[in-house]
Amino acid sequence: MYDFKVSDMTCSHCVATVERAVKSVDQGAKVTVDLGSLAVRIDSAKPATTFAKAIQEAGYTGELRT
Ligand SMILES: [Cu+2]
């Protein structure tokens, strides 16, 4: 389980974009986004760095909290 902070998410469109980026890395990843706390939690066996990269390529800043 990875806990990213994506501080530049502002609306549901951003949430959808970030979710899509996560799914592009791992189709089977479980992703939950909480816009209120800017939290993106990802349950996947793929390394956290690949998600950070995908989030960045989607135009957002993903910062791993743990
Ligand atoms: Cu947005």
Q: How far, in Å, is the centroid of ligand 1 from the Cα of 10?
A: 5
Query: CA–CA separation, 34 vs 46, rounded Å?
Result: 21
- Residues 10-64: tens digit of each pLDDT: 999 999 999 999 999 999 999 999 999 999 999 999 999 999 999 999 999 999 9
Query: CA–CA separation, 1 vs 13, rounded Å?
Result: 24
Using 50, 70 and 90 to split pLDDT, how confident is the model at 2? Answer: very high
Q: Please choose, from the candidates 13, 31, 14, the residue with its C-alpha nearest in 3D space to the C-alpha of residue 22.
A: 31
Query: CA–CA separation, 1 vs 61, rounded Å?
Result: 18
Examine the pLDDT at 66 and tell me if it is beyond 80: no
Number of domains in the chain: 1
CB-CB contact of 25 with 58 (8 Å):
no
CATH number for position 41:
3.30.70.100
Residue 24 belongs to what domain range? 2-64
Q: How far, in Å, is the centroid of ligand 1 from the Cα of 55?
A: 14
